[in-house]
């Protein structure tokens, strides 16, 4: 339906463009005619008011003037062309307008949508008036799509209702159907109607924890979800009010006392905040430690890590009825590399020796799944977390700083999980590979989302995915930030510390009036009040939503997408955002005041950006263009890619740990530790990902493919 809507708009614009020259000429003709007629009227007016001429002389001269003008028009007649253009313009307005274009495209859309709308089941709201669009849909289904002029039209605007009837009074059925399809799609998106059996367009109640069970077991569920501290909203609001008030005082007092040298104010009293540059991660110094490895085969790395972790055991057969004979380990590795490096199973089989395409396809079909891939990754991360060396990158032993970021990739097949973006993909479509990493360089979550989706909706998914990696502070760039996410992560016990673009324009909130702080000469001031009534009114539903997320009944991204698809005035979403504004204001005040926090955020985001470069190197096949259409297939690609990355990182840390262990001199060990600490184990330059060339055989002995006599004798013209 989106394609039809875009096509109709495009056609309308093309018609307007084609008419541009004609309209210009028409306007010129009208202008010339107006000037000519005005000149004649002035002459007539002059004769009619002449004090010298008699009435009979006036009439005679006016008649002569008109005769001369008519003779001129016979020689240079503008009217025929002007009449023609005027008629065409009216025809375009009446017959070739937007509704006509929609009607012309209707049949193509009906062929795709009619059967779907006839058979799909909609959820009828209880104790509410049935929406007008649902009445029209039910009528359409009752008539099996064969609607006529008796069809309900109250869901349409007045102009659309008028357009449904031609100038002869005939009901335009094709136009009605295409408008019905458009309104149905819009009603689903904004939550006016919902589907019964669906993943994405259920009513909000169907995503949340059952209301009756929630009301009967509220405290037990809150305890199970670790949310008891948030149960009393009045006490929580009082605590946050005091905390925010203190934050305004602390940040501003330090500015007034010149204890924050990194903040200035321009002539318009706007904040200019600077942060001393964080040294870029020095990968070259650590890479030099692998010089003796030259180019290590990725197969060698995957094999070594398998012997230490047994991660291949996670690729269990989907069938549990009988004990299955496991394929050779070479099939495991070929499948992981074929998918994770984006080479493709067919091509991997054709460029490899010792394996067949059938064997690879069988393994992928019966052993490869997201659950198995995630379990294999977890197996590798388990050993990585046990290594003492990894801890040198952890800033505070009691905290774990994580970060996430997306990387755009082209998708060259039709996919519901891809969208067009000229900025990133030219005329093509693409997705965003969204990855998470922690301070220990463990890549613990990846997903594939449409390039048009906000990354913020998926932040909580990644942080709740892996229970063994518990983030205490999480950073994203602006794309991963929203006011609602501030509130959600706060209730998950995670300090959200994003890098917000245009921070000086960010809106600050307060429980107190602006004058409370302005009269003290403070420069960092609130812009708006916190709507505590809105938060308190919907707090019970917010808690129910958080229980739903924490107990993993529904993912946070599902809930956020459904909430954000409703009208902007959806009360629950507004209440979550309002709560998030308190947390956001607390963060911004600290971010302004704490240069070390700003540098820490920058450093952690540098880590995920380096990881994205790493993933780009892994995903080298097929010009880095994804060949899979479904979201699950794309997530299998990024899951295998993550497995390869984690295996390389673990191998790096094992290699460096052994180097340290073999050093008996304490000074040498400290020097080596300093190099590693100032660098990163996210290095891959020594890894041979692309395979080897075989020069052990005499290539010239393999014979010539081309018969030059026949080729040169060929005549094609």
Q: Which pLDDT score, from 0 to 100, does residue 293 have?
A: 81
Same domain as 128, residue 36: no
- Region 362-390: what's the mean pLDDT? 96
Domain boundary, last residue among 349, 367, 385: 367
Q: Which pLDDT score, from 0 to 100, does residue 324 have?
A: 73
pLDDT of 424 strictly over 70 = yes
Instruction: Judge whether 649 lies within some domain.
Output: no
Domain boundary, last residue among 167, 182, 202: 202
- φ, ψ (nearest 5 deg) of residue 428: -95, -170
Same domain as 103, residue 196: yes
pLDDT of 83 strictly over 90 = no
Report H helices in 49-157: 55-75, 79-95, 98-119, 132-142
Same domain as 103, residue 88: no
pLDDT of 199 strictly over 70 = no
Instruction: Judge whether 307 lies within some domain.
Output: no
Same domain as 122, residue 70: no
Q: Which pLDDT score, from 0 to 100, does residue 389 have?
A: 96
Q: Which pLDDT score, from 0 to 100, does residue 32 have?
A: 65
pLDDT grade for 613, boundaries at 50, 70 and 90: very high
- Region 477-500: what's the mean pLDDT? 96
Q: Which pLDDT score, from 0 to 100, does residue 272 have?
A: 93
Instruction: Judge whether 389 lies within some domain.
Output: no
- Choose the most confident range, by mean pLDDT, from 14-18, 664-668, 700-704: 664-668
> Quick one: which of 308, 282, 286, 291 has its CA closest to 647?
308
d(CA 3, CA 238): 51
Same domain as 106, residue 27: no
- Region 206-224: what's the mean pLDDT? 95
CA 43 vs CA 29, 67, 425: distances in Å: 21, 13, 65
Q: Which pLDDT score, from 0 to 100, does residue 123 have?
A: 80
pLDDT grade for 196, boundaries at 50, 70 and 90: confident
d(CA 528, CA 244): 13
- Region 7-20: what's the mean pLDDT? 53
Same domain as 154, residue 79: no
Same domain as 79, residue 121: no
Q: Which pLDDT score, from 0 to 100, does residue 26 have?
A: 60
Same domain as 321, residue 359: yes
Instruction: Judge whether 46 lies within some domain.
Output: yes
> Quick one: which of 17, 7, 22, 31 has its CA closest to 104?
7
d(CA 667, CA 454): 49
Instruction: Characterize the bridge pairing of strands 419-420 and 429-438.
Output: antiparallel
pLDDT grade for 534, boundaries at 50, 70 and 90: very high
Domain count, the chain: 3
Instruction: Characterize the bridge pairing of strands 271-273 and 443-450.
Output: unpaired
Q: Which pLDDT score, from 0 to 100, does residue 94 have?
A: 45
> Quick one: which of 564, 433, 434, 547 has its CA closest to 488?
547
Same domain as 102, residue 85: no
Same domain as 104, residue 65: no
Instruction: Judge whether 375 lies within some domain.
Output: no
Least reliable range by pLDDT among 117-126, 262-271, 534-543, 662-671: 117-126
Instruction: Judge whether 123 lies within some domain.
Output: yes
Supply the mean pLDDT for the chain. Answer: 88
CA 702 vs CA 265, 288, 351, 355: distances in Å: 75, 40, 17, 22
Cβ neighbourhood burial of 515 (10 Å; 0-12, 13-18, 19+) = exposed
Instruction: Judge whether 356 lies within some domain.
Output: yes
d(CA 641, CA 149): 57
Q: Which pLDDT score, from 0 to 100, does residue 15 have?
A: 55
pTM score:
0.80
pLDDT of 674 strictly over 50 = yes
Q: Which pLDDT score, from 0 to 100, does residue 99 have?
A: 86
Do 424 and 624 touch, CB atoms closer than 8 A?
Answer: no
pLDDT grade for 563, boundaries at 50, 70 and 90: confident
pLDDT grade for 254, boundaries at 50, 70 and 90: very high
Same domain as 154, residue 72: no
Q: Which pLDDT score, from 0 to 100, does residue 233 have?
A: 98
Long-range contacts at 77-82 (CB < 8 A, ≥ 24 apart): 78/29, 78/32, 78/33, 81/29, 82/26, 82/29, 82/30, 82/33
Residue range of the domain that includes 361: 316-367
pLDDT grade for 112, boundaries at 50, 70 and 90: confident
- Which of the two residues, 608 and 131, has the higher pLDDT score? 608
Q: Which pLDDT score, from 0 to 100, does residue 523 have?
A: 95
d(CA 46, CA 369): 93
Instruction: Characterize the bridge pairing of strands 401-411 and 473-475.
Output: parallel
pLDDT of 398 strictly over 70 = yes
| Span 289-322, pLDDT tens digits | 998 888 899 999 999 999 999 999 999 998 877 7
Domain boundary, last residue among 183, 202, 221: 202
pLDDT grade for 17, boundaries at 50, 70 and 90: very low
- Which of the two residues, 235 and 320, has the higher pLDDT score? 235
Q: Which pLDDT score, from 0 to 100, does residue 539 have?
A: 98
Instruction: Judge whether 337 lies within some domain.
Output: yes
- Which of the two residues, 187 and 715, has the higher pLDDT score? 715
The structure tokens 């010239």 sit at: 700
Q: Which pLDDT score, from 0 to 100, does residue 93 have?
A: 47
DSSP classification of residue 121: -
Instruction: Characterize the bridge pairing of strands 473-475 and 495-496.
Output: parallel
Q: Which pLDDT score, from 0 to 100, does residue 64 have?
A: 75
- φ, ψ (nearest 5 deg) of residue 554: -145, 145
Report H helices in 411-479: 422-425, 459-465
**What tokens were used for 423?**
């900025």
CA 481 vs CA 324, 477, 487, 497: distances in Å: 47, 7, 11, 9
Same domain as 102, residue 198: yes
**What tokens were used for 686?**
């020594």
| Span 310-369, pLDDT tens digits | 999 999 998 877 777 889 999 999 999 999 999 999 999 999 999 999 999 999 999 999
User: Cα 242 from chain centroid?
Assistant: 36
């Amino acid at each position: 339906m989106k394609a039809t809507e875009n096509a109709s708009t495009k056609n309308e614009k093309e018609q307007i463009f084609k008419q541009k020259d004609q309209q210009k000429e028409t306007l010129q003709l009208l202008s010339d005619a107006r000037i000519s007629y005005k000149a004649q009227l002035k002459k007539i007016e002059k004769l009619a008011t002449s004090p010298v001429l008699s009435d009979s002389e006036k009439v005679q001269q006016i008649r002569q003037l008109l005769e001369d003008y008519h003779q001129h028009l016979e020689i240079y007649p503008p009217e025929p062309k002007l009449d023609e253009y005027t008629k065409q313009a009216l025809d375009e307005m009446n017959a070739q307008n937007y509704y006509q274009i929609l009607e012309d495209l209707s049949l193509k859309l009906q062929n795709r949508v009619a059967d779907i709308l006839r058979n799909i089941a909609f959820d009828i709201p209880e104790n509410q008036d049935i929406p007008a669009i649902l009445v029209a849909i039910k009528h359409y289904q009752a008539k099996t799509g064969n609607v006529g002029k008796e069809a309900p039209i109250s869901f349409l605007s007045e102009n659309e209702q008028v357009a449904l009837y031609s100038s002869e009074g005939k009901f335009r059925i094709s136009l009605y159907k295409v408008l019905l399809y458009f309104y149905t799609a819009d009603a689903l998106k904004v939550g006016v109607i919902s589907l019964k059996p669906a993943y994405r367009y259920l009513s909000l109640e169907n995503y949340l924890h059952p209301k009756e069970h929630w009301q009967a077991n509220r405290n037990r569920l809150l305890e199970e979800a670790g949310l008891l501290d948030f149960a009393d909203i009045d006490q929580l609001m009082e605590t946050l009010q005091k905390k925010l008030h203190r934050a305004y005082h602390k940040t501003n007092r330090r500015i007034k006392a010149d204890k924050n040298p990194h903040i200035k104010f321009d002539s318009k009293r706007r904040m200019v905040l600077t942060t001393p540059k964080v040294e870029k991660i020095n990968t070259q110094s650590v890479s030099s430690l692998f010089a003796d490895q030259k180019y290590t085969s990725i197969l060698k790395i995957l094999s070594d890590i398998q012997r230490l972790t047994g991660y291949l055991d996670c690729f269990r057969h989907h069938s549990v009825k009988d004990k299955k004979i496991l394929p050779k380990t070479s099939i495991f590795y070929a499948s992981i590399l074929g998918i994770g490096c984006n080479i493709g199973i067919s091509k991997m089989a054709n460029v490899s020796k010792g394996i067949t395409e059938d064997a690879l396809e069988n393994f992928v079909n019966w052993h490869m799944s997201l659950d198995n891939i995630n379990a294999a990754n977890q197996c590798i991360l388990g050993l990585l977390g046990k290594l003492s060396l990894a801890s040198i990158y952890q800033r505070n032993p009691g905290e774990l700083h994580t970060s996430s970021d997306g990387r755009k990739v082209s998708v060259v097949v039709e996919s519901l999980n891809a969208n067009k973006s000229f900025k990133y993909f030219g005329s093509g479509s693409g997705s965003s590979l969204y990855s998470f990493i922690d301070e220990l360089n463990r890549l613990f979550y990846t997903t594939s989302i449409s390039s048009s989706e906000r990354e913020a909706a998926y932040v909580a998914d990644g942080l709740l995915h892996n229970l063994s990696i518990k983030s205490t502070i999480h950073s994203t760039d602006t794309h991963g930030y929203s006011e609602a996410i501030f509130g959600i992560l706060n209730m998950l016990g995670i300090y959200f510390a994003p890098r917000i673009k245009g921070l000086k324009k960010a809106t600050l909130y307060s429980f107190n009036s602006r004058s409370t702080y302005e009269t003290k000469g403070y420069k960092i001031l609130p812009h708006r009040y916190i709507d505590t009534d809105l938060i308190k009114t919907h707090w019970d539903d917010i808690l129910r939503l958080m229980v739903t997320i924490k107990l993993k009944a529904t993912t946070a991204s599902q809930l956020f997408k459904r909430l954000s698809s409703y009208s902007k005035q959806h009360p629950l979403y507004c209440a979550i955002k309002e709560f998030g504004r308190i947390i956001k204001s607390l963060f911004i005040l600290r971010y302004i005041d704490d240069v070390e926090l700003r540098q820490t955020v920058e450093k952690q985001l540098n880590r995920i950006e380096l990881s994205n470069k790493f993933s780009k190197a892994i995903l080298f096949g097929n010009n880095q263009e994804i060949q899979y259409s479904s979201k699950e297939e794309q997530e299998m690609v990024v899951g295998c890619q993550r497995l390869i990355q984690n295996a390389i990182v673990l191998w790096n840390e094992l290699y460096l740990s052994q180097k340290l262990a073999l050093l008996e001199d304490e000074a040498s060990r400290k020097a080596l530790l300093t190099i590693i600490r100032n660098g990163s184990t996210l290095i891959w330059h020594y890894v041979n990902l692309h395979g080897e060339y075989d020069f052990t055989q005499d290539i010239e002995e393999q014979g010539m493919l081309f018969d030059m006599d026949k080729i040169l004798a060929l005549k094609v013209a």
